[in-house]
Amino acid sequence: MRRLGLLFVVSAPSGAGKSTLLAALRKEFPELTYSVSATTRAPRPGEVDGRDYHFLSEEAFLRLRDTGHFAEWARVHGNFYGTPMRPVIDLLSSGKDVLFDIDVAGADQLRQVFEEGTYVFILPPSRAELARRLGGRGTESPETLAKRLKNAAGEISQAGRFDFWVVNDDLDRATDHLRAVYLAARARPRLFPGLVEELLAQFD
Ligand code: ADP
Ligand code: 5GP
């Protein structure tokens, strides 16, 4: 049975566990294709250019931005991030589901372009636990850690703009909830154009 591709957009304050949850979702649904963003942030150990991000200089990023290359872009924690438009169009038109890991401002912009997406927000169980996770990850300097924690309140205040919330308290439970949201999004009638007509024709 043919189904149209869907946009699955996930945002969260940094450290809430979004990467962990999305890794689990992608493992279970390899057909969910990741939208690789561009960024001016330096690669972290283990990150691969073209797989995790397209790592660009600020000059290259701004040049692309000014030619309308991005479906959305934002400055997050002092770096530029953006979603290249072309791959999204190509993936959707070939019926693929596309996964976006973007910030709250970017999700807002993407909704202007793709109203039909599913927009999910991941919440930490508490501020203390968010701080603990950010520190425990060991990828942030004390300054970026403080900046990310400060930004979290602003991001959480925008949670009401999203279609679904997943509270990442227990990882297994949160993974179950995220899977449930994705499966529900895949069941939307508008993703099955002509299906009912085809079925009904068999009753003629
Ligand atoms: P994000 O992508 O949202 O910035 P990460 O997925 O990198 O966050 O998670 C931040 C840290 O918290 C990581 O060390 C991760 O292993 C840990 N973590 C994620 N989810 C949970 C959870 N439910 N319980 C405890 N630790 C978690
Ligand atoms: P990180 O530096 O930890 O990889 O990502 C920092 C933040 O930038 C995360 O909230 C992530 O979702 C967001 N982000 C990653 N790619 C994009 C993008 O293309 N656009 C926007 N708006 N945000 C992004």
What's 45's domain CATH number? 3.30.63.10
- Of 167, 204, 162, nearest to 185 by C-alpha is 162
In sequence order, what are the residues at sequence separation of 6 or more whose Cβ sits closer than 8 angstroms to the Cβ of residue 114?
A: 7, 71, 88
**Closest atom of ligand 1 to CA, residue 170:** 23
Percent of the chain surpassing pLDDT 70: 100
Choose one of 95, 113, 144: the last residue of a domain. 95
Q: Which of 44, 100, 133 to mutate to test the pocket of ligand 1 (most atoms within 8 A of CB)?
A: 133
Beta carbons within 10 angstroms of residue 161's beta carbon? 13
Q: What is the pLDDT of residue 114?
A: 94
Q: Is the pLDDT of residue 138 over 80?
A: no
How many Å lie between the centroid of ligand 2 and the Cα of residue 191?
A: 27
Sheet of 70-76: strand order equals 53-55, 37-39, 79-84, 70-76
For residues 58 and 159, membership in a common domain is answered with: no
Q: Does 109 share its domain with 179? A: yes
Of the listed ranges 15-19, 140-144, 159-163, 186-190, the one predicted with least confidence: 140-144
Instruction: Give the residue-averaged pLDDT of 60-87.
Output: 96
Q: Are residues 151 and 176 in the same domain?
A: yes
What's the confidence (pLDDT) of residue 147?
87
Q: What is the mean pLDDT of residues 118-127?
A: 98
